[in-house]
Amino acid sequence: MDAVAFWLAAVAIGVLALPLAAGLFRRFPDGGAGLALPLGMVIAAFAYFVLRVASIVPAGRGGWFVALLMLACVSAVSLRVNPRRGAVLRRSLPGALAALGVFTVLFFSYVWFRSHVAAIAGTEQPMDFLYLNAMLASPSYPPHDPWFAGEAASYYYFGYLHIALLTAVADVPASTGYNLGLAFTFASAGTAVASIAFALARWALPRRSMGFPLSGAVLALVLLLAAGSLSAPLEWAAAQEHYNEPVFRTFGVDWMIPCDAADAATGNDNCYSGAVNPRTTEWYPTEFWFWWRGTRIIPDTITEFPFFSFLLGDLHPHVMALPLVLLAVALAAATWRGRGLASLASHRQPESLLLLAVVFGGLAFMNAWDVISFFALLAAAALLRNVRARPFRLALLHTATWSAPVAALAVVFYLPWYATFSSQADGIFPYIGKGTIPAHAFLQFGTLLSAIAAVAGWALRRHSRGAAWDALALALWFPLVPLLAWIVYAMARGELDDAVAARSNFGWVTLAAYGIVAWLLASLAVTQARTRDPVVIVAGLGAVAVLLLYGTELFYVGDVFRGFIPRQNTVFKLSYQAWAILAVAGPVAIVVACSRLRTRPLASFAAAPGLVLAAAALVYPLLALPNRTDAFDTTTHIDGLAFLAESSPDEYALVRWIDANVPGGAVVIEATGRQYRLGDDRVPVFDPAGPSIDYGESGRVSARTGRQTPIGWPGHEVQWRGSDAIGGEIARRQDLVDHLYLSDVPGDVVDGMRALNASYIVVGRIERERYPVSMDPVFESALQLVFESGNTRVYRVPVYATVNTS
């Protein structure tokens, strides 16, 4: 029933937002119904954030319903002021019902999958659970950071606020809301991408049958949520011991070939060193998480894609942002489709201005990497609309006056978040390295690029030779400006010679290929810029997506990884954006080209590369799903802590007791994660060879309850707070907490807890493993035992009250 309650909460928010969606997307065939969910969520979450920051509503379930009431009021006012929207809603009723059907099928399908792997454990899932719990538990906003007691969260946590909203309204435990939040994100993104692709194809083919737009919508949904790396067929062949070494080496996946004696003698680690006989016992690879390698094809980078994200189950900002990213794409398409100038005068009726500011401000709040790319996409769409009516320079001026108020309000609306946010980014730098080889680029992005590139070349041929050459000349700046900027910047830093020397020949080929495809797409947009042909927006989307890939070959954003894997996060975040955009543009390009080509052979030729590679990309989920779920032969449940109830009932009881009895703002001390051992003199000493702190079980109580602890994962705190200078404070907190557990002086324990502003201290399995001393007698003499289950205990600092006896 938890899943049904969560689904009902999501559907209710979508229904409440329908009038607003109808205003923004009235030209969409479904009247924006497929986009009402992310629109409603961002408005309601923003309303709740403002209410909490302004201390208008307290913590608790009631505040979430006040936010929904505000969404309902805004929609009602919008419908009353714009009565014609009722006609849009009536016209688009079939589309709304279709959107509801798509969302429902996707939601419950993902719930079924996740019920086989529901545990919130491993990778960075404890961190994600931490922020979800913080949204629900924090007594004041901005919310606290449970892993750094006394400080506000310094992260883009708006996505967690979205999931917390649904969790609270549906009245389900956070450990269930986590998994249902993944299902919501999956279904909402799928519904949105289908809505956009259908709209673009329908605009392009108004007189054709519904078959073409429907095909585009289905293909877009598949490419976004089901397609994977083209390395999967090679993984299958390797698991079945079918090693064609020339083929593997051609694709640059030598590491799938088992190491031999020669590799051992030369120290070559670019080979498979795991267990070989057998690598699989089934028709699919049974090696543990073989599918992880599909996101590490390009060395020293992460090339994650949506199917992998939902397979893994990390509730990260870039994943939760998918519906909002697609909403931004839809807003760009709707802006381009609009009539008249997009200028300052357009904002005289402020509804669209305010909604755009809430959406794009929320995009920064949800995943800061996304806002620049997608705001630039929105501005480009406005410019393409304006050049239909004005000369380019005047169109550019109008676009600037239209965009500036949106950008300004997007910042103003979310100032309370900016005040507590500290970025780890320290600038943009020229990339110096080998670059991506074409084979790796093909394995990761070939499916998405093949359709859009082939169609761009075909579409340009439809125009006269003079018009095509003029467009190519005019659009040359699109790939050339970033390249020249890279050259000038590297030269200014004295690094140009090193940068040119470091890039391999194949690296230059990939760079050139990305640049040429981006150039072709930009040229296609230029040729049709003064028309309302939807090929313009499709080509524009494709050009921006390929430009993102092109940019990762030239620049990177400096962060904590800059010294050893500098472009890891840049490739990760920008290629993820490119995947989402191309999942819209590619399918639409294919169906439009097939429809407009006059002969079946030509249509087949245009569609074949994209469709064949799309089929090949489905091998990845076909192999990965049974591997991830043990062929779906597992006990099913949707509570992410059910595994804890089975494996460690005392820890589970501890979490539930804290949830029910400890105030949301309390500080609860738990093990820092440092390992101690008894020295030769039987005195505990720090063991540097102990287990890792980050990604381990330290901070487990705070992650599972949202209560604050003095220090959780220190490496992540350094990333979030953007400075190594915080290392001293982290060390101080670790020392204080360790001293509490190791002390044999009751007074020191009480003083230490008060110094940390802590009321509770946990003694469980982890604490007993990390600190090899008998701590209970000391705690019992100084503190009050308030919880006990097996060998797990919680102590509280005694509370003394002054009683007037006179």
Report the pLDDT averaged over residues 143-165. 95
Report the pLDDT averaged over residues 329-352. 91
Strand ranges (DSSP E) for 364-463? Answer: 428-430
75 Cβ contact partners less than 8 Å away, ≥ 6 residues apart = 16, 17, 18, 19, 20
16 Cβ contact partners less than 8 Å away, ≥ 6 residues apart = 40, 44, 68, 71, 72, 75
**pLDDT, tens digit, 9 for 90 and up, residues 39-88:** 999 999 999 999 999 999 999 899 999 999 999 999 999 999 888 888 88
Q: In the structure, what pLDDT confidence band is assigned to residue 469 with cuts at 50, 70 and 90?
A: confident
Q: Bridge-partner residues for 762, per DSSP?
A: 794
Q: Does the structure show a pLDDT above 60 at 19?
A: yes
Report the pLDDT averaged over residues 601-629. 85
CA distances in angstroms from 731 to 7, 65, 667, listed in the order given: 44, 41, 18
Nearest to residue 407, comparing CAs of 367, 341, 366, 363?
363
| pLDDT score recorded for residue 465 | 63
**pLDDT, tens digit, 9 for 90 and up, residues 526-553:** 887 777 788 889 999 999 999 999 999 9
Q: Does the structure show a pLDDT above 60 at 332?
A: yes
Residue whose token pair is 């705070």: 702
Residue whose token pair is 């220090």: 711
**pLDDT, tens digit, 9 for 90 and up, residues 92-125:** 899 999 999 999 999 999 999 999 999 999 899 9
Q: In the structure, what pLDDT confidence band is assigned to residue 604 with cuts at 50, 70 and 90?
A: low
Query: Is residue 566 classed as helix, strand or coil in its secondary structure?
Result: coil
Q: Which of 467-471, 554-558, 607-611 has the weakest average pLDDT?
A: 467-471
CA distances in angstroms from 557 to 87, 372, 430, 578, listed in the order given: 47, 13, 9, 17
Query: Is residue 126 classed as helix, strand or coil in its secondary structure?
Result: helix
| pLDDT score recorded for residue 271 | 78
Query: Is residue 761 classed as helix, strand or coil in its secondary structure?
Result: strand
Rg of the chain on CA atoms, in Å: 28
Q: How far apart are CA 142 and CA 153, in angstroms?
A: 7
Phi-psi region of 351 (alpha: psi -120 to 50; beta: other; left: phi over 0): alpha
Which two structure tokens, joined as six digits, stand for 66?
A: 């006040």
Residue 412's CB is within 10 A of a number of other CB atoms, namely 11
Using the CB atoms, write b or e for 26-54: b if 16+ within 10 Å: bbbbbbbbbbbbbbbbbbbbbbbbbbbbe
**pLDDT, tens digit, 9 for 90 and up, residues 206-246:** 776 788 899 999 999 999 999 999 999 999 998 888 888 88
The CA-CA-CA angle for residues 786, 789, 795, to 5°, reads 25
Q: In the structure, what pLDDT confidence band is assigned to residue 804 with cuts at 50, 70 and 90?
A: low
Ordered by start, the domain boundaries in the chain are 2-225+317-418, 242-278, 426-596, 648-796
Residue 773's CB is within 10 A of a number of other CB atoms, namely 17
Q: Are 396 and 403 in contact (CB under 8 A)?
A: no
Q: Bridge-partner residues for 258, per DSSP?
A: 272
Residue whose token pair is 């996946």: 253
The CA-CA-CA angle for residues 164, 168, 169, to 5°, reads 120
Q: Does the structure show a pLDDT above 80 at 392?
A: yes
Query: What's the mean per-residue pLDDT of the chain?
Result: 91
Nearest to residue 760, comparing CAs of 638, 642, 666?
666
Between the ranges 240-254, 721-735, 782-796, where is the mean pLDDT highest? 782-796
Q: Which of 312-316, 424-428, 726-730 has the weakest average pLDDT?
A: 424-428
CA distances in angstroms from 333 to 25, 118, 229, listed in the order given: 9, 37, 28
* Distance linking the first and last C-alpha atoms of the chain: 57
Q: How many CA atoms lie within 13 A of 336 on its CB side?
A: 29
Q: How far apart are CA 673 and CA 770, in angstroms?
A: 7
| Sign of torsion over alpha carbons 444, 448, 449, 450 | positive
Q: How far apart are CA 795 and CA 776, in angstroms?
A: 9
Using the CB atoms, write b or e for 645-679: b if 16+ within 10 Å: beebeebbbbbbbbbeebebbbbbbbbbbbbbeee
- Give percent above pLDDT 90 in the chain: 70
Which two structure tokens, joined as six digits, stand for 134?
A: 């913080």
Q: How far apart are CA 768 and CA 770, in angstroms?
A: 6
Query: Is residue 385 classed as helix, strand or coil in its secondary structure?
Result: helix
| pLDDT score recorded for residue 1 | 85
506 Cβ contact partners less than 8 Å away, ≥ 6 residues apart = 435, 437, 438, 439
Residue 575's CB is within 10 A of a number of other CB atoms, namely 23
Q: How far apart are CA 250 and CA 201, in angstroms?
A: 37
Q: How far apart are CA 393 and CA 399, in angstroms?
A: 10
The CA-CA-CA angle for residues 730, 735, 736, to 5°, reads 100
Q: In the structure, what pLDDT confidence band is assigned to residue 466 with cuts at 50, 70 and 90?
A: low
Q: How many CA atoms lie within 13 A of 482 on its CB side?
A: 26
